Copies of this chain bind each other. A is one copy, B any other.
Amino acid sequence: MKIKDLAKIVDGAVDGNGDIEITGMDGIDTAEPGDLTFAIDENKLSEAEKSKASCILTVSSARKSSKPLIRVANPKLSFLVAYNALNASKEVKAFKHPSSNVSEKASIGKNVHIGAGVYIDDGVKIGDNVVIEANSVIKKNCEIGSFCRIYPNVTLYKNVKIGNNVILHGGVVLGSDGFGYVKDKGKIYKFPQLGRVIIEDDVEIGSNTTIDRGSLSNTVIGAGSKIDNLCHIAHNVKIGKNALIAAFCGIAGSVTIGSDVTIGGQVGIGDNLKIGDNVTIGAQSGVTSNIKSGSVILGFPARPIAQTRRQMAVLSWLEKNYKLVSAKIKEKDPA
């Protein structure tokens, strides 16, 4: 994309040669020729001029520069907008590493990059402009949409379905068997785990996160949701749109979560619970009951945040005053 085209996307003014081609974006320290970088003020502009970047996104008021500029109101926000424009729907160069193994019974779209050691089994369908990086494994009958990126060492069990613009980071495992057993006479029997994992459009899933397949229904992650590293989503969980779920969250079996929830790190949600829309759950909470839409909760068991904070305050108060309380209850009854 040319500088002048990028400038249109971020509603900015070009100062310099707008016909130079921009091929990537990076921070000031690591930018290479062809990259756009950004400078939030004059100091950063001086640093950026010394970088290898080919163009600098900076504030409207900035001085003239030795490099081409794009002047905008908010360089940081514009950087994000430009980044997404450059990256979200980037056309991929078709490539198939000779060490990859792709079944002849798989259907691979246009412009798909298949890295070294990738294994793609029978019946897999992959859309256009997808990147699958080294040593990832895609088992039978998985469906992957367009513009997805699968980083190295990812595992998709059979029948996993992934929408468009989905990012799976390194070591993610989707579709492993749920933790479902029946105890009978002291022995533990494995219950069949036959459902699918369905990941809707625009989802990003962090490194080494695991999402189990449904038992007899599906596990579903709603469009636009973002899940951090090392989370665990159990079988049959349904998560709505635009969830933000921080690291180490554990969502137990058959939980239903609405849209636009925000869940802090290390939260646990007990099985079969229903969480409404627009719920915010503070870090390290343990959710043990259904939660209404719009709630902000914290603690173990998780309660409205004001209540949990009062309990913390009251316990601190008692810690300081317990000798007085203790003396009081040992008083003789005044009657």
Contact = CB atoms under 8 A, between A and B. Distances in A.
B176 A153 contact: no
A248 to B, nearest CB: 5
Nearest to A133: B137
Given A133-B137, A265-B250, A170 B157 contact: yes
A226 B179 contact: yes
Nearest to A300: B284
Interface stretch (A6-14, A60-68, A105-113, A200-208): A200-208
Closest 6 CB pairs of A and B: A155-B170, A137-B152, A173-B207, A170-B173, A334-B334, A119-B134
Most buried by B among A77, A154, A206, A331: A206
Most buried by B among A79, A154, A177, A208: A208
B319 A318 contact: no
Interface stretch (A15-23, A289-297, A306-314): A306-314
Contacts of A159: 30
A80 interface: yes
A95 interface: no
Given A153-B153, A317-B326, 17 more contacts: A80-B190, A101-B134, A117-B119, A151-B157, A153-B173, A155-B171, A169-B173, A169-B176, A179-B206, A234-B247, A248-B248, A283-B286, A311-B318, A314-B322, A321-B329, A328-B329, A331-B333
Contacts of A319: 307, 310-311, 314
Q: Is the interface of A mostly helix, strand, loop or mixed?
A: loop
14 contacts: A27-B216, A80-B190, A84-B190, A101-B116, A119-B134, A119-B152, A169-B177, A176-B207, A177-B206, A208-B208, A248-B266, A268-B284, A325-B325, A325-B328
A208 B206 contact: no
A273 interface: no
Contact of A195 (B27, B217, B228): B27
A229 B206 contact: no
Contacts of A171: 153, 155, 171, 173, 208, 210
A189 B325 contact: no
